[in-house]
């Protein structure tokens, strides 16, 4: 009996430590529009990075947006104009797989980087080769790609379209050519012409003057064994963030970056921005990623 009582006391102490040690219910990852929080008796403007307690109350404005991360690491998006108690926010129970990415997202200070990126936010130019078109893809040290779609963007400031995207095999023989007036192109790695390739080179040139072009960029599908390992990890995460939301895409972008799959990370950041084009925070996180990984300076 004494042993049982002692066990109950220890359990109560441990539970209390967890409950009282957690000093917030949510943290604000992104906020757009007229959003306010009442902590106590007064309403205050809600800013990115704010910690929300269970006893707080939210006032979400018309056409506003809130991207929150719960203390357990679960992402939540709020868009409905209403006054809502933090305690009433419904949270899907997330697994431990999200925790490692949550810590990074919360510690990544996109606001701090914003001014620096605003002053120097040009894509990295190849000074040595002096290329007219610079593609926003990682260096050759990170060629691997998991997904079947590769989003290719480039700097169109110095060369106007239309552009020609050329895909070559390892012997530098052209496999496919695509014409586009845009400064972005989605490459389908499942295309029969590409699916059989162990690696490819991609370059972008002006249609009017083919001499005006980019360097070659190396893209390599993941080997089967490594891909299966990534798939297992990804499936675990997707069990918690399967919905197509901008905030969930930020998690996926971080997952791919953690696995050095920078091309896939670019794709997820692009999707996040497209899903919430009116929320500048996601573009700032994307720019922060490009800056950290040397694709912007």
Domain containing 153 — which CATH number? Answer: 2.60.40
Asked whether residue 139 is domain-assigned, the answer is no
Q: Are residues 236 and 280 in the same domain?
A: yes
Q: Are residues 285 and 249 in the same domain?
A: yes
Asked whether residue 109 is domain-assigned, the answer is no
Asked whether residue 27 is domain-assigned, the answer is yes
Does 121 score more than 50 pLDDT? no
Q: Are residues 232 and 186 in the same domain?
A: no
Q: Which domain holds residue 278?
A: 114-121+224-292
Q: Is 109 left (phi over 0), alpha (psi -120 to 50) or beta?
A: beta
Residue ending a domain, choose from 221, 244, 267: 221
Q: Are residues 13 and 89 in the same domain?
A: yes
Residue ending a domain, choose from 221, 236, 258: 221
Tokens read off for 233: 């990890």
Confidence bin at 157 (pLDDT 50/70/90) = confident
Q: Are residues 203 and 234 in the same domain?
A: no
Q: Are residues 180 and 257 in the same domain?
A: no
Q: Are residues 215 and 230 in the same domain?
A: no
Asked whether residue 55 is domain-assigned, the answer is yes
259 or 117, greater pLDDT: 259
Residue ending a domain, choose from 221, 236, 254: 221
Q: Are residues 210 and 280 in the same domain?
A: no
Question: What percent of the chain has pLDDT above 90?
Answer: 65
Asked whether residue 137 is domain-assigned, the answer is no
Q: Are residues 256 and 184 in the same domain?
A: no
Q: Are residues 198 and 255 in the same domain?
A: no
Count the domains in the chain: 3
Q: Are residues 271 and 249 in the same domain?
A: yes
Q: Are residues 205 and 262 in the same domain?
A: no
Confidence bin at 119 (pLDDT 50/70/90) = very low
pLDDT one-digit tens code per residue, 3-51: 444 444 333 333 333 333 457 899 998 999 999 999 988 999 998 889 9
Residue 33 has φ and ψ, to the nearest 5°, of 95, -165
Question: What percent of the chain has pLDDT above 70?
Answer: 81
Asked whether residue 211 is domain-assigned, the answer is yes
pLDDT one-digit tens code per residue, 194-227: 999 999 999 999 999 999 999 999 999 999 999 9
- Specify the pLDDT at position 106: 66
CA 92 to CA 108: how far, in whole Å?
A: 24
- The pTM assigned to this predicted structure is 0.82
Asked whether residue 105 is domain-assigned, the answer is no
Tokens read off for 72: 């357990």
Burial label for 13, CB within 10 Å (0-12, 13-18, 19+), is exposed
The strand pair at 144-145 and 217-221 is best described as parallel
Asked whether residue 165 is domain-assigned, the answer is yes
Q: Return the SS3 of 6.
A: helix
Angstrom CA distances, 35 to 48, 108, 191, 209, stand at 11, 22, 46, 50
HEC per residue, 268-293: HHHHHHHHCCCCHHHHHHHHHHHHHC
């Amino acid at each position: 009996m004494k042993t049982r009582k002692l066990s109950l006391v220890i359990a109560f102490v441990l539970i209390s430590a967890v409950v009282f040690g957690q000093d917030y219910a949510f943290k604000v990852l992104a906020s757009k529009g007229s959003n306010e929080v009442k902590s106590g008796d007064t309403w205050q403007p809600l800013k990115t990075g704010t910690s929300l307690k269970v006893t707080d109350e939210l006032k979400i404005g018309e056409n506003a947006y809130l991207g929150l991360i719960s203390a357990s690491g679960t992402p939540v998006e709020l868009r409905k104009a209403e006054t809502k108690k933090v305690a009433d926010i419904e949270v899907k129970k997330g697994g431990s797989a999200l925790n490692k990415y949550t810590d990074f997202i919360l510690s990544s200070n996109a606001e701090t980087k914003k001014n620096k990126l605003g002053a120097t936010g040009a894509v990295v130019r190849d000074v040595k080769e002096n290329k007219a078109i610079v593609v926003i893809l990682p260096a050759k040290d990170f060629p691997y790609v998991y997904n079947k779609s590769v989003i290719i963007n480039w700097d169109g400031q110095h060369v106007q379209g239309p552009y020609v995207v050329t895909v070559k095999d390892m012997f530098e023989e052209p496999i496919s050519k695509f014409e586009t007036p845009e400064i972005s192109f989605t490459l389908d790695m499942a295309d029969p012409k590409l699916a059989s390739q162990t690696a490819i080179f991609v370059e972008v040139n002006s249609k009017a003057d083919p001499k005006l072009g980019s360097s070659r960029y190396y893209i390599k599908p993941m080997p089967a064994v490594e891909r299966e390992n990534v798939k297992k990890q990804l499936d675990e995460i997707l069990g918690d963030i399967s919905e197509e939301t901008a905030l969930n895409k930020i998690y996926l972008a971080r997952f791919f970056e953690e696995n050095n799959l920078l091309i896939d990370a670019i794709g997820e950041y692009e999707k996040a921005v497209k899903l919430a084009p009116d929320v500048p925070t996601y573009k700032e996180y994307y720019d922060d990623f490009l800056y950290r990984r040397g694709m912007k300076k």
